[in-house]
Amino acid sequence: MALLLAVSAAMLLGRSWTACDVGVNNAANSGFLLWLFVPGLWSVLLLVWVAVGGLLGNRPLLHAFALAVTLLGVFWCVLSIFWEGTATPPCPGGVPSWWPSFIPVPEF
């Protein structure tokens, strides 16, 4: 689950950066996302998974719900930190044209 969320976040962030022309170039952005962002986020999400699992013990329904909410919260916060700065001429509001309007932009 943690790896899936980390890779999904990197793909979403990379596509938004490409659409908004953020960063040096696609090669530099993808290098950062692949070699630093994914392993870092995977580690954080894995630690959160273990911490929440250890705190809740053996209550399967509560455990599953709390893990889902916590992991999605961390996912959204990490995206918010790195999504900043996408307000460029191609994306004046910091939102690519393909972003669905019913999902809030990952910014604080």
Query: What are the residue ranges spanned by the domains of the chain?
Result: 1-82
**Structure token digits, residue 82:** 């790195």
CA distances from 105 to 11, 16, 33, 36, 49 (A): 16, 11, 20, 23, 25
8-state DSSP, 21? T
The per-residue pLDDT for 96 is 87
Which residues in the chain come in under a pLDDT of 70?
A: 85, 107-108
List, for residues 68-86, the tens digit of each pLDDT value: 888 888 888 888 888 876 7
53 and 45 Cβ atoms separated by less than 8 Å? no
The per-residue pLDDT for 13 is 87
pTM for this prediction: 0.78
Hey, is 68 helix, strand or coil? Answer: helix
Q: What angle do CA 56, 37, 42 make, to 5 degrees?
A: 25
The per-residue pLDDT for 78 is 86
